[in-house]
């Protein structure tokens, strides 16, 4: 039977907003149009949100531009206090934020609570980075000249975030932008807008000045809103997390105004287990890395490569763990994995399973839809006998399928791992330090986890290479994505002291 989902019992019901937040006020779309948001677990209506248009978006951009001159002049310490207050409000309301995440995204409540804390961490981190934006003093090659650099906020930023982490993807972009002194227009994902709107309410309570943060929503008009952000000469920076195809489109649209860009795009991460790995650690890590959020993260292990000497043992232990999963509604007791975001995601997962079976793969666990639970549920699946001609070898699944590929040598597995257009994260398991270095240096990814399946950390630079995009989020490098460097040369400075 379908999960009996109901409205989450928010401790603070005023965090549930169905309007956009622009210039410190809650507003509707000028057209009056709205779109529906549904619970992916039950299929029931959650509510509606404004269907913003280009006209609405342009107005939000104007508001952000008007707020920028004053906000850029605030000190780093002032911005730090604002961000820290916003962080504290997120922590104080973390249960409600988690309930909203589960309601609109479907991930189990325990996972949602983890995301709420992780998301808040970006505001804490960048509150600490805000007062520490520093330039350099440079020894000039021209006698009498003095050269130094300063970092300045880039200006109005357009931020476009995905549905798989409704809170964390917002804070990972808004945090460094505000720390740098920028103002923002943040386009919330149409599938999961309510978490971001709750964050907007907390921004209001934190005393973020009017116009500095603006949260807008759209579903049918998503492309129109994205085009408005990229085409506007007022917007000087666009940050996007999502598919490679959309990223390339946004980059083309931004060319006419030569914006500063940072894109975190498709994944398809390789997860490599060598014969000398600690088998128990590798299995446990692969389980967590592959099936987190039902496989709907950009750094999920999408292709699991296991050296032939331990392939059978790994597959048996891995499949046994997956058999213990419980699929259901995110609020249900004991549920480990929730629904996929929509039926299109289910169709893609099913197509990858059927393709693997057709080409000789063997399904050890799962492999079927779960219509009794709802249209968006699919069994966590383990497939052995994977080959490079299968769709899963080259396409990011974004779902709960673990395909196990055998390999013989380091050279062979690195070639297979790199035989994709993207390069976000990669993982390798070995107890041989020299092997670890050889392989990590050969992998074409922006991030590598060695004997760990967890690479996301507010302190670590997150980003990829190749078609996975460019730029880094989080860490001490994150704020520089929202800054421009100004070089200053002062002449006539080599004169002797007066009176000497």
Each residue's pLDDT tens digit, 206-217:
999 999 999 999
Could you give the CA distance from residue 340 to residue 122 in angstroms, rounded to a whole number? 26
Q: What is the spatial order of strands in the sheet that 260-264 belongs to?
A: 25-27, 20-22, 213-217, 183-188, 156-160, 235-241, 260-264, 469-470
**What is the average per-residue pLDDT within 43-72?**
97
Per-residue pLDDT tens digits for 338-372: 999 999 999 999 999 999 999 999 999 999 999 99
Which backbone phi and psi does 428 adopt, to 5 degrees?
-145, 145
pLDDT at residue 4 above 50?
no
Give yes or no for a contact between 64 and 209, defined as CB atoms under 8 angstroms apart. no
Q: What is the four-CA torsion angle of 56, 59, 65, 71, rounded to 10 degrees?
A: -80
The closest alpha carbon to 302, from 376, 391, 378, belongs to: 391
pLDDT at residue 91 above 60?
yes
**Which pLDDT belongs to residue 8?**
63
Strand pairing category for 25-27 and 34-38: unpaired
Question: Is 152 annotated as catalytic?
Answer: no
Quote the percentage of the chain above a pLDDT of 70: 98
User: What number of residues does the chain have?
Assistant: 500
- Sequence-ordered alpha helix ranges (H) in 20-75: 54-72
Which backbone phi and psi does 50 adopt, to 5 degrees?
-65, 140
Could you give the CA distance from residue 204 to residue 209 in angstroms, rounded to a whole number? 8
Residues 6+ apart with CB under 8 A from 267: 297, 298, 299, 300, 302, 396, 422, 424, 425, 464, 468
Confidence of residue 500 (pLDDT cuts 50, 70, 90): confident
**Which pLDDT belongs to residue 2?**
43
Which residues in 395-410 are b (16+ Cβ under 10 Å) and which e? bbbbbbbbbbbbbeeb
Per-residue pLDDT tens digits for 455-464: 999 999 999 9
Could you give the CA distance from residue 435 to residue 418 in angstroms, rounded to a whole number? 17
**What is the average per-residue pLDDT within 56-74?**
98
Could you give the CA distance from residue 198 to residue 14 in angstroms, rounded to a whole number? 8
Which backbone phi and psi does 434 adopt, to 5 degrees?
-65, -40
Tokens encoding 262 = 């940072």
**What is the average per-residue pLDDT within 479-500?**
94
Could you give the CA distance from residue 98 to residue 200 in angstroms, rounded to a whole number? 15
Give DSSP secondary structure letters for 175-227. HHHHHHT-EEEEEE-SSS-HHHHHHHHHHHHTTPPTTTEEEEE-STTHHHHHH
**Which pLDDT belongs to residue 9?**
85
**Which pLDDT belongs to residue 368?**
97
Selecting among 182, 298, 300, 473, the annotated active-site residue is: 298
Q: Which of the residue ranges 1-15, 27-41, 137-151, 389-403 would you say has the lowest mean pLDDT?
A: 1-15
**What is the average per-residue pLDDT within 392-406?**
96
Give DSSP secondary structure letters for 337-362. B---SSHHHHHHHHHHHHHHHHTT-E
**Which pLDDT belongs to residue 1?**
36
pLDDT at residue 3 above 80?
no
Per-residue pLDDT tens digits for 294-317: 999 999 999 999 999 999 999 999
Handedness of CA 26, 105, 39, 218 (dihedral sign): positive
Question: Is 300 annotated as catalytic?
Answer: no
**Which pLDDT belongs to residue 7?**
55
**Which pLDDT belongs to residue 253?**
98
Selecting among 19, 51, 264, 396, the annotated active-site residue is: 264
**Which pLDDT belongs to residue 384?**
98
**What is the average per-residue pLDDT within 265-284?**
97
The closest alpha carbon to 177, from 72, 256, 252, 248, belongs to: 72
pLDDT at residue 108 above 90?
yes
Measure the CA angle with vertex 37, ends 32 and 41; round to 5°: 170
Residue 18 burial class via C-beta count within 10 angstroms: exposed 0-12, middle 13-18, buried 19 and up = middle
End-to-end CA distance of the chain: give it in Å, rounded: 93
**What is the average per-residue pLDDT within 282-290?**
97
Could you give the CA distance from residue 446 to residue 455 in angstroms, rounded to a whole number? 11
């Amino acid at each position: 039977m379908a999960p009996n989902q109901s409205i989450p019992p928010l401790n603070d019901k005023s965090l549930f907003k169905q309007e956009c937040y622009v210039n410190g006020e809650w507003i509707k779309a000028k057209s009056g149009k709205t779109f529906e948001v549904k619970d992916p677990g039950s299929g029931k209506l959650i509510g509606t949100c404004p269907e913003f248009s280009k006209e609405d978006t342009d107005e939000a951009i104007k508001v952000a531009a008007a707020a920028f001159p004053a906000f850029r002049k605030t000190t780093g310490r002032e911005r730090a206090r604002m961000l820290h207050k916003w962080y504290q409000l997120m922590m104080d309301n973390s249960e409600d934020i988690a309930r909203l995440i589960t309601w609109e995204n479907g991930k189990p409540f325990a996972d949602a609570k983890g995301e709420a804390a992780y998301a808040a961490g970006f505001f804490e981190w960048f509150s600490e980075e805000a007062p520490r934006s520093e330039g350099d003093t440079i020894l000039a090659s021209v006698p009498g000249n003095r050269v130094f650099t300063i970092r300045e906020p880039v200006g109005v930023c357009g931020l476009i975030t995905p549905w798989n982490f409704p809170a964390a993807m917002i804070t990972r972009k808004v945090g460094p932008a505000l720390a740098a002194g920028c103002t923002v227009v943040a386009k919330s994902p149409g599938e999961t807008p309510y978490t971001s709107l709750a964050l907007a309410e907390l921004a209001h309570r934190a005393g973020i000045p009017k116009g500095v943060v603006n949260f807008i929503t759209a579903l049918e008009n998503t492309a129109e809103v994205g085009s408005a952000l990229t085409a506007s000469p007022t917007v000087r920076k666009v940050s996007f997390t999502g598919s490679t195809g959309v990223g390339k489109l946004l980059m083309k649209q931004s060319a006419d105004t030569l914006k500063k860009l940072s894109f975190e795009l498709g994944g398809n991460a390789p997860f490599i287990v060598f014969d000398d790995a600690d088998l128990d650690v590798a299995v446990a890590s692969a389980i967590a890395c592959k099936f987190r959020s039902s496989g709907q993260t950009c750094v999920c292990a999408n292709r699991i490569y296991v050296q032939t000497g331990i392939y059978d043992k790994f597959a048996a232990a891995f499949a046994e763990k997956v058999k213990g999963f419980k699929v259901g509604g995110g609020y249900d007791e004991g549920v480990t994995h929730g629904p996929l975001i929509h039926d299109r995601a289910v169709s893609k997962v099913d197509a990858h399973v059927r393709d693997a079976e057709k080409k000789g793969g063997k399904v050890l666990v799962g492999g079927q839809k779960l219509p009794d639970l709802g249209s968006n549920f699919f069994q966590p699946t383990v497939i052995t006998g994977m080959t490079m001609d299968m769709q899963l070898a080259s396409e990011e699944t974004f779902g709960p399928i673990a395909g196990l590929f055998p390999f013989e040598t380091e050279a062979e597995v690195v070639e297979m791992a790199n035989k994709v257009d993207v390069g976000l994260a990669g993982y390798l398991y070995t107890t041989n330090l020299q092997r670890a270095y050889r392989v990590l240096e050969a992998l074409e990814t922006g991030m590598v986890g060695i004997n760990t399946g967890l690479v996301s950390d507010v302190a670590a630079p997150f980003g990829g290479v190749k078609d996975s995009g460019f730029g880094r989020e989080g860490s001490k490098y994150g704020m520089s994505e929202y800054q421009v460097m100004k070089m200053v040369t002062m002449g006539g400075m080599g004169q002797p002291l007066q009176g000497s």
